[in-house]
Amino acid sequence: MGINASVGVGQGDDSYTVGANACQDAIDQLSEKNPDLLIVFSSVKYDQEKMLQGVRSVAPEAMLVGSSTSGEITTQGPLKDNSVVVMAIKSPEIKYFTGVGENIKVNPRAAGKEAADKVKAEAGPALKAFLMIPDVLAGNGADIVRGVLDSLGTHFPVVGGASGDDFAFKKTYQYLNDKVYSGAVVGLGLTGNFKIGIGVKHGWIPVGEPVTVTKSSGSVIHEIDGKPAIKIYEDYFGEEEAKVLRTETLAKLAITYPLGMKVAGSDELLIRDPITVDEHGSITCAAEIPEGSEIRLMVGSRDEAVKVAKAAALNAMEQLEGSAPKAVIIFNCIARNKLFGDKSGDEIKAIQEAIGNQVPLIGFYTYGEQAPLGGEVKNIEKCNSAFHNETVVICVLAD
């Protein structure tokens, strides 16, 4: 017997009951009723502690990892209402190891390394894949990924998504077994006889000419081509329109017009989300853009985003070398959900066309994604993992 997975959903008002119902729904569909692993994604509408207690009341022995979200996704597609979703997995072939790194606010890189170190210490050299769920409101997401790679090595398959809070950008939560964290990164290591495929693409299209970041510090771009960073938007939209950016949050515009950065080893530009602009015209992004980087203004296209989501899923399938997919985990940027609006289901359908619409699927809308560098993943063991924005990441497990 290989991987047996199922997905349950809970909705309603009572946090404990909703958690319990979601877990029971997942377990009811498993042929064996004692899952090894639970993956839990929940709206912040629910009391996080009570919700998790509800989940644990049904399956107290299973290992559990999870996250608060900005929207939940299941085999039925993106859910319209607040919910708790649970994937239950049972397999005699896979072993799981967990670790948490806290205090991202103090040192994001150290937190990433701590989570990975704990997993590596338990799993040993057999460690095959690493799934991570970081809080990027607390600190630089790219640094958290660097910390993980400090521990696991540059070429290691890392996949994950940053916790959300229903687009409020105030506080997010990470789950490990019985405990709810915030400001932490939760890691899950997998060993055993299984196959994993990871697809990663964004489909944003560059507009205008390439420009160079001439002054930056961390996630703040001060100058582009020697001028205040905001000028990249003023030149494109006109100064009147761009004035609004200084009063309203840049994040709303960046959903459709993010920045793309050229990086070695990727056939797609790496997306960076601008979040705010200060009175000097400096732009703060969701992760850093180093000085000297060549960047472009990008524009979102629904058609292109659907097309690349399917291409990413097909790429993940290729890596399974003919084995049938048994479980799908999707980390999908909240920006894509906003881009699609009511049509967000189109993207998930396109993914399911490639993988199969009956394969148990769970996912959530994130504040950033972790995966190999974008484009075609050819050899998962030689990939360079990175922190992404506005990207869809598809992880497929097979026997």
Closest CA to 326 of 108, 31, 52: 31
The per-residue pLDDT for 246 is: 65
Give the pair of three-digit tokens for residue 221: 């771009």
CB 375 within 8 A of CB 201: yes
Longest dimension (CA), the chain: 63
- Model pLDDT for residues 103-135, shown as the tens digit of each residue: 999 999 999 999 999 999 999 999 999 999 999
Task: Indicate the pLDDT class of residue 190, thresholds 50, 70 and 90.
Answer: very high
The per-residue pLDDT for 316 is: 96
For the cut 80, the answer to whether the pLDDT of residue 249 exceeds it is no
What is d(CA 245, CA 352) in angstroms, rounded to the nearest whole number? 37
Task: Indicate the pLDDT class of residue 268, thresholds 50, 70 and 90.
Answer: confident
The per-residue pLDDT for 338 is: 86
Averaged over 186-201, what is the pLDDT?
96
Helix, strand or coil for residue 303? helix
Q: How many helices (H) and strands (E) does the chain have?
A: 10, 26
The CA–CA distances, whole Å, from 135 to 45, 112, 168, 254, 280 equal 18, 11, 14, 20, 28
On average, the pLDDT of the chain sits at: 93
Cα 71–chain centre separation: 12
- How large a percentage of the chain has pLDDT more than 90? 79
Task: Indicate the pLDDT class of residue 383, thresholds 50, 70 and 90.
Answer: confident
Closest CA to 166 of 367, 387, 370: 367
What is d(CA 164, CA 150) in angstroms, rounded to the nearest whole number? 25
Q: Where are the domains of the chain?
A: 4-201+304-398, 205-298
The per-residue pLDDT for 327 is: 98
